[in-house]
Amino acid sequence: MSGLDLTRFLKARFDEAMDALRRYHDGHDGPCMNYEGQDADAYDEHDSCVLHLQAAQATPYRSVEYGLVEVDAQQRILAMYSSALEEREALRTRMRAAHGSDHGEFARLHREESELIEVARRLEPVVRALALPYAGHSDYRDEWRPAE
């Protein structure tokens, strides 16, 4: 599994959810005005409002505020995981440079890398679980499913 591929996938889904929630939130200071071709006399604002439909498709939340807070929390978890993966890659470059020339620096970097590996290892099942609601998405990969 490529952890960075999974983080890119989840970031895109979370961004979509946040965009839909923000569009809904920012567009609802008054009654819905997006009829999607419905006769105004038959209009039920909860059935046909484009913003309602987009928010409902992207976010199964009780309220926009709840959805914004939840997606933000998910983004924070994903950022911790992504940061550990990216920092490890940067450390590996520094480790290659120190290998054979500065044993003390190499050992320090190796310890730091080990800590990042542990952080990513602990967060990976959480990130896989965060991706599970998107299993029906065309870009979702079965290899991202949480271990049983």
Q: Specify whether the CB–CB gap between 51 and 19 falls below 8 A.
A: no
Find the domain containing 58 and state its range. 3-137
Q: Is residue 102 part of a domain?
A: yes
> What are the pLDDT digits (tens) for 89-147?
999 999 998 888 988 999 999 999 999 999 999 999 999 999 999 999 999 999 999 98
CB count in 10 Å sphere of residue 132: 11
Report yes or no on 129 lying in a domain.
yes
Number of domains, the chain: 1
Instruction: Give the CA distances from residue 14 to residues 74, 92, 123, in Å, rounded to whole numbers and listed in that order.
Output: 8, 29, 17
Is 64 part of a structural domain of the chain?
yes
Q: How far apart (Å, rounded) are the C-alpha atoms in residues 107 and 88?
A: 14
Two structure tokens written together for 33? 């005005």
Residue 35 predicted with pLDDT over 50? no
